[in-house]
A and B are shown apart, each in its own frame.
Chain A
């Protein structure tokens, strides 16, 4: 084992915030007796004046020593101190902050004695952590400055157009023979009520006129591998298979509207049509007559598919209003479980529908409406959940709202949430997935209306742009939610048994098994690894390690935690110097 680095300690009194509670004399005596520590100093406020500048000068002169700062929490000023030292040219891996203010002095203000003992323990733990800290250099990734956009629907088109405008090379892959996706099937889009064709034309034109964008129609992504900066895709299309390298991938594969035969006599009784057929009727522009009943939540929000498909209520509102506008005398009824029209615009749509005379009847999913009619629709019988009465509504047409169902594409190495849509990172992340460089937008991540999908597409484009705009990017920048990550995990091939625990547990699919002449060995993809340490925790024989939080460090930190309080046996460092107590 290499020699341990020399550690210098600096204790900050924080103008008495710490110093009035924790006995600095005792801390200093303890540290002076600790042979791992070269020097101990204390100061009144490390963050003020030129102390840091002096420290940085000293650290640059004696290259290799490490510095433990015991003071406020990293979240208060601690990180800032490290940043400032870095600005002076000190490697931040050489500095560590131990929190003895928020984590000790402030919460144990009434127990000065115990707080001092705790501060001593915390500092001892910090010294251990600093001594054992290994900081392997960051990994530079040569980024392929091309973005692969999968799917030529609204989300994909918006993403490709935005990237093209930014001057990034884009490959747009569309499985069908025509760009536009859902825009090819809709009459008008909710809630802006623009014609779908009117939206599609300028978008497609922009794509086709952009020299940066290559479009492959009738092409699918058959396989996708690699990691941020270097994804390898195998495209299979009319002209055979081609290979493509891309720095980022935007998944905009959408969802499919799906209605099975037999639900509400769909496909069996003329006059029962799906929402998509209704859209087609509007697109064809022919006259549409006859009283109409819309039924919502068709085969969705049930046991089989427990999610709300989100687009069907706005679509039904839009089409109901259109029917009413075409023929105010037509009776239009929407049978719903509850109308999902969140937001200002959709709420306005709902109000417009009620004002136009659309009748809303709520039903109970236990008692679904029944379609009446022998050889064609004559009406619908529904138990009104609010009045409790059974009502018969005469109708010549029943429109079943079509829910969106996730598409399955085994080529995309992304985890899906429980319904099958691609999962994005929790909290404030809309398009980032657990695989850096792989973004998902549009209905592939959740049912969404056209304009929302386009906004998501542009968001994904912005994220992809950030990644591919530079030829070299650092692995530590990839993780979308933090400034720097703990260095990626490593697997020691000498001891690895290839049991596969790390592969199974890795939440980022960064570990994989490889066959070597001596058997299976686990490997970590340094780009995909985010440094959580799951692999190290399940490795049976410590072959997988997280360099910054290695097991050696952890075991000793744990042993240090109460070393000062071993009952009846004060620790060696204090023993030597506390004769006066």
Chain B
């Protein structure tokens, strides 16, 4: 008997070419508007991600992220304002710290640190958002074979990163 949803998610990922399921928590001041900007420019992105608008990245409870993995998400992204540009003073600093710790925990149990992305972007960075979604999606797709091999991928650099 196994009740670990993780196993189901990771091992039985359908190999039908569907985009990986990614849940994106985007703060509604910066990254959420950045996502919108990407939409306005009609930048193509993998269709596997779903945006959850939140007030601030700091409002994302790590437990909700764990719940998301348990509910079938293959990757979770927490996107906030740039570190010194948080609309709520420096709330996103604490969020970044929490996410770093949660990442460690995910790595510990072998789910993989790569499945949780913490990043910071701003409202005009639509292209960066699209690039980030494409790359994160690629990365998660590569991770689906996690049970048998570890894939090495390019790091995504600061902010929303440059388009590789």
Contact = CB atoms under 8 A, between A and B. Distances in A.
Do A and B make up one complex? yes
Interface of A: 73, 75-76, 99, 101-104, 106-111, 114-115, 117-118, 121-122, 125, 415, 425-427, 434, 481-482, 486, 505, 507-508, 530-534, 536-538, 546, 548-549, 551, 554-555, 557-559, 561-562, 565-567
Contacts of B21: 561-562, 565
Given A107-B38, A107-B130, A534-B56, A508 B67 contact: no
Interface in B80-136: 84-91, 94-95, 98, 130
A537 B61 contact: yes
Contacts of A122: 50-51
Contact of A549 (B33, B55, B63, B73): B55
Contacts of A482: 87
10 contacts: A108-B45, A507-B58, A507-B91, A532-B59, A534-B91, A538-B94, A549-B59, A561-B52, A562-B72, A565-B72
B33 A75 contact: yes
Contact of A108 (B14, B47, B54, B88): B47
Given A107-B39, A115-B47, A121-B50, A537 B88 contact: no
A30 to B, nearest CB: 16
Given A507-B89, A534-B88, A551-B64, A125 B52 contact: yes
Interface string B16-57: 001101010000000001011011101111011011101110
B60 interface: yes
Nearest 7 A/B pairs, CB to CB: A533-B59, A102-B39, A507-B89, A114-B47, A532-B88, A532-B56, A534-B58
Contact of A101 (B39, B59, B60, B68): B39
Given A107-B42, A555-B64, A531 B55 contact: yes
A293 to B, nearest CB: 39
A508 B36 contact: no
Contact of A426 (B54, B73, B85): B85
A428 B60 CA distance: 26
Contacts of B59: 532-534, 536-537, 546, 549
B19 to A, nearest CB: 7
B4 to A, nearest CB: 16
A508 B88 contact: yes
Contacts of A426: 84-87
B88 A554 contact: no
B72 to A, nearest CB: 5
Contacts of A107: 38-39, 42-45, 47, 130
Contact of A561 (B61, B73, B87): B73
Contacts of A551: 61, 63-64
A103 B35 CA distance: 7
A549 B88 contact: no
A103 B44 CA distance: 11
Q: Which of B35, B89, B98 has the most CB of A within 10 A?
A: B89
Interface centre among B39, B52, B86, B94 (most CB of A within 10 A): B39
A76 B40 CA distance: 9
A136 B38 CA distance: 33
B161 interface: no
A102 B71 CA distance: 25
Contacts of B86: 426, 507
B56 A533 contact: yes
A561 B48 CA distance: 10
With most chain A CB atoms within 10 A of its CB, the pick from B36, B95, B130 is B36
Given A73-B36, A565-B21, A537 B60 contact: yes
Contacts of B14: 567
Contacts of B39: 73, 99, 101-103, 106-107
Nearest to B76: A558
A92 to B, nearest CB: 16
A358 B84 CA distance: 41
A111 B130 CA distance: 16
Given A122-B51, A507-B86, A551-B64, 4 more contacts: A76-B36, A125-B52, A533-B60, A561-B73
Contacts of B91: 505, 507, 532, 534
A430 B147 CA distance: 53
B153 to A, nearest CB: 23
Given A109-B42, A562-B50, A567-B12, A533 B55 contact: yes
B55 A537 contact: no
Contacts of A73: 36, 39-40
A106 B42 contact: yes
Contact of B87 (A104, A481, A505): A481
B71 A562 contact: yes
B83 to A, nearest CB: 10
